[in-house]
Amino acid sequence: MGKYLAGLWLTIVAPFIGMIVIGGPDGGVVDHLVLHIAMIILGAISLWILVGLRRTVAPAGRTPSRGIGVTCVILLVVQVLFLIGNAGEAAALIRKGGFHLGEAIFHDPLHYAAAWITPNAFMLAILGVLVLSVQVLVVTRRLRAVPVTPEAD
């Protein structure tokens, strides 16, 4: 479960920290459209990681945990919203000409609506990763504490 959790930190939390460092989409360090395309790619990777983690904690998986499974499903929904928001923003940017649009794009209705979804989904995803981290920590500690005894036939 640790590799899945590390992947989620790299695809959800690290980009958020990177967004803060570069000043967000209007920070001028990275083009607005390139930023949304990168976020779409990272969001898709995080979905793949979440599906893998969900399979691991499924009732027939290696480490069954209903709580982690529910959190994975919630995070899947949040990440789909994040992808929809970023795709909407990217579509608005492409429709208006792509690169170097400046402040005018922020008044486009499609971009405005998608820009409302994206940061909210981003914050919910970070909260979900933090909750998931605590859950994984508790489950792994619990598994280490329980001695494995051979089954009696």
pLDDT tens column, 112-125: 888 899 999 999 99
Structure tokens at 56: 């691991």
> Residues near 121 by Cβ (< 8 Å), separated by ≥ 6?
78, 79, 81, 82, 85
pLDDT band at 17 (very low <50, low <70, confident <90, very high): confident
Mean pLDDT over all residues of the chain?
85
pLDDT tens column, 70-102: 999 999 999 999 999 999 988 888 887 766 666
Look up the pTM and report it.
Answer: 0.83
> Residues near 113 by Cβ (< 8 Å), separated by ≥ 6?
88
pLDDT tens column, 47-65: 999 999 998 887 777 777 8
Phi, psi of 139 (to 5 degrees): -65, -45
What confidence score (pLDDT) does residue 148 get?
59
Structure tokens at 43: 């969001």
DSSP 150: P
CA 94 to chain centre: 24
